[in-house]
Amino acid sequence: MTDLNNLTSKVLEEKKASLQEEIDQAEREVADEVAAFEKEASEQFEADKKAAQEKIEREKEIQRNSIKIEERNEILSLKQDYIKRILDEAQTKMNETSDDVVKQFAEQTLPQFEGAGQMTLTLGEHSQNALTSDWVDQQAVSGLELTVSDETIANEAGFVLEQKGIEYNFLFSELLEAHRSQYIAEINQKLF
């Protein structure tokens, strides 16, 4: 009986030891799985955290760039408004140019048409008193015969020469417009 008890005890001890080994193995596997899960979760958290920080930095950069663009556009708009005011003021002053200055301009311009034959001179409204028929008759440009038109060009200073349907525009507004980009560059260089 003792042998039976010893045998039973031994079998029970072996079963108990085997069962304990299985429990220990299962606990190790669970611990390994928990550690692997924790490691994976930690790595995922760090990756998500890094991605979120990068996204925040990109959004900050976009905002900084947007602010810079907005600031640049505001400055550009102010510059354009200022340049427009300067050119508008220049146009106003050109419209108010004295008769003597208009005559000097015409005296410098008319020799270009030497030998052109018959041409019609149409004055801008603001220059109609500067270049009279008598003044035109006194101009001695070889081969150029000018006739002053009875019509004027409204709200303009300067003049237009016309010959056989071809117009040579010397209105101050057109001269200003023709050189606009050059004037804008000069204004930018001097003021900004």
Residues 69 and 139 in one domain: no
Q: What is the pLDDT of residue 65?
A: 95
Residues 156 and 90 in one domain: no
Domain count, the chain: 2
* Domain hosting residue 89, numbered range: 1-95
Residues 128 and 142 in one domain: yes
Residue 128's identity, in one-letter code, is Q
- Residue 12 sits at φ, ψ, to 5 deg, of -65, -40
pTM for this predicted structure: 0.60
Q: How many helices (H) and strands (E) does the chain have?
A: 5, 4
Is the pLDDT score of 120 beyond 90?
yes
Long-range contacts of 84-92 (CB under 8 A, 24+ apart): 86/187, 87/176, 87/180, 87/183, 87/184, 90/176, 90/183, 91/172, 91/173, 91/176
Q: What is the pLDDT of residue 171?
A: 93
Residues 105 and 67 in one domain: no
Q: Cα–Cα distances in Å, from 3 out to 29, 112, 130?
A: 38, 141, 145
Is the pLDDT score of 185 beyond 70?
yes
**pLDDT digit string, tens, across residues 46-67:** 999 999 999 999 999 999 999 9
Residues 123 and 66 in one domain: no
pLDDT band at 133 (very low <50, low <70, confident <90, very high): confident
Is the pLDDT score of 1 beyond 70?
no
Residues 180 and 113 in one domain: yes
Mean per-residue pLDDT over the chain, rounded: 88
Give CA–CA dist 117/107, Å, rounded: 17
**pLDDT digit string, tens, across residues 67-103:** 999 999 998 898 889 888 988 998 888 888 888 999 9
Could you tell me if 163 and 120 are in contact, meaning their C-beta atoms sit under 8 angstroms apart? Answer: yes
Could you tell me if 123 and 151 are in contact, meaning their C-beta atoms sit under 8 angstroms apart? Answer: no
Residues 16 and 71 in one domain: yes
Q: Which residues pair with 144 in a beta bridge?
A: 117
Q: What is the CATH number of the domain that holds 184?
A: 3.30.2320.30
Which range (17-26, 112-121, 122-131, 165-174) has the least confidence?
A: 17-26
Is the pLDDT score of 15 beyond 70?
yes
Domain boundary among 76, 95, 114: 95
**Dihedral sign, Cα of residue 11, residue 15, residue 18, residue 21:** negative
What residues contact residue 161 under an 8 Å CB cut-off, 6+ apart?
A: 113, 119, 120, 121, 146, 167, 168, 170
**pLDDT digit string, tens, across residues 142-169:** 888 888 999 999 999 999 999 999 999 9
